[in-house]
């Protein structure tokens, strides 16, 4: 069995999207990204970014320029004690201005090519993996690859849904909430011993809208880290399909997180 992974879109998922990002100086991590990536890595997930970069096909950016942008993003993440295991990008677009890159490609989302390539090169179990992004292209690519999916869809940056676009497994307002969903599902599968199950744990919305219209994570008010730690301990007791020593404690902790 391969390792589990969280595949991540780049723009408005990990970093802010100013349009076609060509200047490394304009790279800005979104709030909470570093903590989310640390948390996922500690839970045993590989972290792989998969991003469409049509700016290359359009002649707005070279591959070397994109590498400099990603080097700056990687530096900022490293300064915060985290990082990605791999980065994949698609430079192609069917209407590009650069002949070399002006074509259709299986790598370009909503096609799953980047995810499938990463899975092959990093021994990733796609059935235990997630695709997280802020567009329905991300969701379609993830589903086609056999991953579970989370759409980041905030009121500030609502995703545009077209006719025929599939629904994601879950929705979140930011990567922090998406991380909580991934970790809760992972722990629930370990606790129940149903690691092969595709049924998702119902997760109560963890956001509240203030009168100003801003959005915050109510789960941050909980001592979530301590709860996850206790759940992980209980989950270890079920690693050999044994029943947890205190099933009633498991249910109480799950209820506490979901409350």
Helix, strand, or coil (residue 170): strand
Could you confirm whether 217 is annotated as catalytic? no
Strands of the chain, DSSP E = 5-8, 46-52, 86-90, 130-133, 148-152, 170-172, 207-209, 215-217
DSSP string of 74-127, one letter each residue: HHHHHHTT---SEEEEE---TT-SSGGG-S--TTSTTS-HHHHHHHHHHTB-GG
Peptide bond preceding 60: is omega within 30 degrees of 0, i.e. cis? Answer: no
Question: What is the Cα–Cα distance from 208 to 129, expressed in whole angstroms?
Answer: 28
Dig out the tokens for 12 from the structure: 């408005």
Q: What angle do CA 129, 11, 86 make, to 5 degrees?
A: 45
- Which residue of the set 9, 34, 138, 217 is catalytic? 9
Question: Is residue 144 classed exposed, middle or buried when 0-12, 13-18 and 19+ CB atoms within 10 A define those classes?
Answer: middle
Could you confirm whether 9 is annotated as catalytic? yes
Question: What is the Cα–Cα distance from 216 to 10, expressed in whole angstroms?
Answer: 21
Catalytic machinery residues: 9, 11
């Amino acid at each position: 069995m391969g390792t589990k992974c969280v595949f991540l879109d780049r723009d408005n998922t990990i970093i802010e999207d100013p349009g076609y990002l060509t200047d490394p100086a304009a790279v800005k991590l979104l709030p909470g990204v570093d903590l989310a990536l640390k948390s996922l890595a500690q839970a045993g997930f590989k972290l792989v970014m998969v991003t469409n970069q049509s700016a290359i096909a359009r002649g707005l950016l070279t591959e070397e320029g994109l590498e400099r942008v990603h080097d700056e993003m990687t530096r900022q993440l490293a300064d915060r004690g985290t990082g990605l295991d791999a980065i994949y990008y698609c430079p192609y677009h069917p209407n590009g201005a650069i002949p070399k890159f002006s074509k259709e490609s299986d790598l370009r989302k909503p096609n799953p090519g980047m995810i499938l390539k990463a899975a092959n090169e990093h021994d990733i179990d796609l059935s235990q993996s997630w695709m997280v992004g802020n567009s329905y292209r991300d969701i379609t690519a993830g589903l086609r690859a056999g991953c579970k999916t989370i759409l980041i869809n905030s009121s500030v940056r609502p995703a545009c849904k077209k006719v025929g676009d599939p629904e994601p497994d879950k929705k979140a307002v930011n990567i922090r909430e998406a991380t909580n969903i991934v970790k809760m599902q992972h722990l629930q599968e370990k606790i129940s011993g149903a690691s092969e199950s595709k049924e998702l744990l119902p997760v109560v919305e963890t956001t509240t809208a203030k009168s100003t219209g801003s959005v915050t994570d109510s789960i941050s008010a909980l001592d979530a880290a301590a709860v996850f730690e206790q759940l992980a301990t209980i989950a270890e007791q079920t690693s050999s399909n044994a029943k947890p020593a205190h099933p009633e404690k498991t249910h109480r902790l799950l209820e506490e997180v979901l409350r």
